[in-house]
Amino acid sequence: MLSCWLAGVCFFSSVTLWHIPVSTALSYTVVPRNVSQDVGKAATFLCGVSPETAATRVDFTIYRRHGNYSVLCPGEPLSLPSQGLNGYCEVKGEELRAVWSVAYNSRKDNGTYVACRPTGLSPAFAYLTVKENSSYFAALIGCVIGGFVGILAVFGLVYLGMRRSERFRKCLKGQTSQDDLSTITEQ
């Protein structure tokens, strides 16, 4: 009776264990995210799904002004050095990941987007927004403010100098002769 019961439990658990990976539906582990990046910087898009089985396929496509490129995972990487573009696949345990990396953003890359299409899941999209280099703007603003403050400082010093010489002149007025005063004002 006990052995029968044990056999039942064994049979049930083996069936359950066998069924867990099969019945676990494919789902996103990493949904590609929008990237906002400065001109000249790198941008990376990721798309991950789990669990990775023999049937798992991920089509990760990048849509650029120069053209559209796809990596199919699992599969061969795609490298376009002239465009600083790299697409590849990674397997991390149960997870299958597709990656697109753009080495140097240019203004033309603004609006580039990726589409991740795993078989059996709805596609996911993410966009690249290229920003004007913020350090360039910081430098520009710094120069404008610095220049303005500099001009104010020069005017302030000139004004102070004038007041001081005036006070100096008034101070001297009582004690010095007209000759001395005229030489001072000439200077």
Ligand X SMILES: *[C@@H]1O[C@H](CO)[C@@H](O)[C@H](O)[C@H]1NC(C)=O
Question: Would you say how long the chain is, in residues?
Answer: 187
- Return the number of the residue (65 or 173) whose C-beta is nearest ligand X: 65
- Segment contacting ligand X (CB under 6 A): 90-98, 122-130, 140-148, 167-175? 122-130
State yes or no: residue 70 binds ligand X (CB under 6 A): no
- Return the number of the residue (67 or 142) whose C-beta is nearest ligand X: 67
State yes or no: residue 107 binds ligand X (CB under 6 A): yes
Candidates 37, 60, 45, 32; CA nearest to 106 is 37
- Return the number of the residue (11 or 136) whose C-beta is nearest ligand X: 136
Residue of 132, 147, 155, 160 interacting with ligand X (CB under 6 A): 132
Residue of 37, 70, 101, 129 interacting with ligand X (CB under 6 A): 129
Three-class SS state of 92: strand
Contact positions with ligand X (CB under 6 A) in 136-165? none
Residue of 28, 69, 88, 127 interacting with ligand X (CB under 6 A): 127
Q: At what angle do helices 134-175 and 178-186 cross, to 10 degrees?
A: 170
Cα–Cα dist 110/18, whole Å? 47
State yes or no: residue 101 binds ligand X (CB under 6 A): no
Contact positions with ligand X (CB under 6 A) in 33-62? 34
**Least CB distance from residue 106 to ligand X, whole Å?**
9
The neighbour count for residue 162, using CB atoms within 10 Å, is 10
Dihedral angle over CA of 148, 151, 157, 160, nearest 10: -80
Candidates 42, 43, 45; CA nearest to 33 is 45
Is residue 143 a contact partner of residue 135, using CB atoms and an 8 Å limit?
no
Question: What's the CA angle centered on 111, arms 106 and 113, to 5 degrees?
Answer: 105
Residue of 68, 79, 135, 165 interacting with ligand X (CB under 6 A): 68
Residue of 47, 71, 85, 130 interacting with ligand X (CB under 6 A): 130
Cα–Cα dist 115/93, whole Å? 23
Interaction site with ligand X (CB under 6 A):
34, 63, 67-68, 107, 110, 127, 129-130, 132
